[in-house]
Amino acid sequence: MPWQLSRRKNLKLRVIPINDAGEVDIDEFVKLINPKTKLVSIVHISNALGTINPVKKIIDIAHAHNIPVLLDGAQSTPHLKIDVQDLGCDFFTFSGHKMFGPTGIGVLYGKTQYLEMMPPYQGGGDMIREVTFDHTTYDDLPRKFEAGTPNIAGGIGLGAAIDYLNQFDREELLKHENALLEYATAKLSEIKGLRIIGTAKEKASVISFTIEGIHPYDIGTIIDTDGVAIRTGHHCAQPVMRRFNVPATARASFTFYNTFEEIDKLALSLNKVIKMFS
């Protein structure tokens, strides 16, 4: 949706298709690139499907055509150790609240060469080098973009959340999450009528699913009474729902503190829902 704003500048928005597993079609991506392409933007990990996109490959292809790449890392920062220099992306965004930090704060990382070309998006204190009645020059990065008194508490909170996550061996956390994903995929696949939406080879510990004849809202509401919390809805990704011909999905997502017993409880609870509706 943010990229639809590009129409104001008469830019065309072209969308990379995904296959039935929820993986980006790289051949189609290459075909979409032309000399007018200004930017490639892609989600690092899909919140709706769990797909981990092959972002390094995408960045390499885009850079071979001198096109900058923006990665939406809202879902990847909680699951993966991120090194923007290693990834080579030109922009990277993420939200504090998805990595156990405060709400209302996030990060836009950008390479200096692009940030210097960009005008400030809002005005306020401490962003100006010099002002006269008819002219203004802006301060150096990042102050040019940090207008007004900043969200100091949010910044400190987000820093603490990042330190909290980084005190762990992130590789070990990922191993546990992958084991949970494998276990849950097998467990949920045994449930009759349950369809997993998003079966990419590279997947984060997220399982989106539907159950034949039962609306995801009902699934979520009923298993909530068992103390099992999942997310239901279109996950702010309606075009993805349309691609898979479903109005919404139920989505269980696992992080490092989740357990195998909790997955057993989820499966048990889902079977209960099916019984209620049959």
Ligand X SMILES: Cc1ncc(COP(=O)(O)O)c(C=O)c1O
Closest approach, Cβ 120 to ligand X, in A, equals 20
Closest approach, Cβ 89 to ligand X, in A, equals 15
Closest approach, Cβ 125 to ligand X, in A, equals 25
- One residue of 51, 53, 75, 269 binding ligand X per CB under 6 A: 75
* Pairwise CA distance, residues 99 & 243, whole Å: 28
Binding of ligand X at residue 95 (CB under 6 A)? Answer: yes
The neighbour count for residue 126, using CB atoms within 10 Å, is 12
Residue count at the site for ligand X (CB under 6 A)?
A: 8
- One residue of 42, 43, 180, 252 binding ligand X per CB under 6 A: 43
Q: Using CB atoms within 10 A of its CB, is residue 109 exposed (0-12), middle (13-18) or buried (19+)?
A: middle
The neighbour count for residue 56, using CB atoms within 10 Å, is 12
Q: Between β-strands 128-131 and 106-110, what pairing exists: parallel, antiparallel or unpaired? A: unpaired
* Pairwise CA distance, residues 219 & 266, whole Å: 11
Contact region for ligand X (CB under 6 A) — 26-34, 67-75, 175-183, 224-232? Answer: 67-75
Q: Is 89 a catalytic residue?
A: no
* Pairwise CA distance, residues 202 & 104, whole Å: 30
- One residue of 133, 227, 236, 257 binding ligand X per CB under 6 A: 236
C-beta of residue 214 within 8 angstroms of C-beta of residue 273: yes
Residue of 236, 245, 257, 275 marked active site: 236
DSSP summary character for residue 130:
E
- One residue of 22, 54, 106, 110 binding ligand X per CB under 6 A: 106
CA dihedral (190, 195, 199, 203) positive or negative: negative
- C-beta closer to ligand X: residue 94 or 209: 94
Binding of ligand X at residue 23 (CB under 6 A)? Answer: no
Q: Rule CB under 6 A: which residues touch ligand X?
A: 43, 47, 72, 74-75, 95, 106, 236
Active site residues: 236
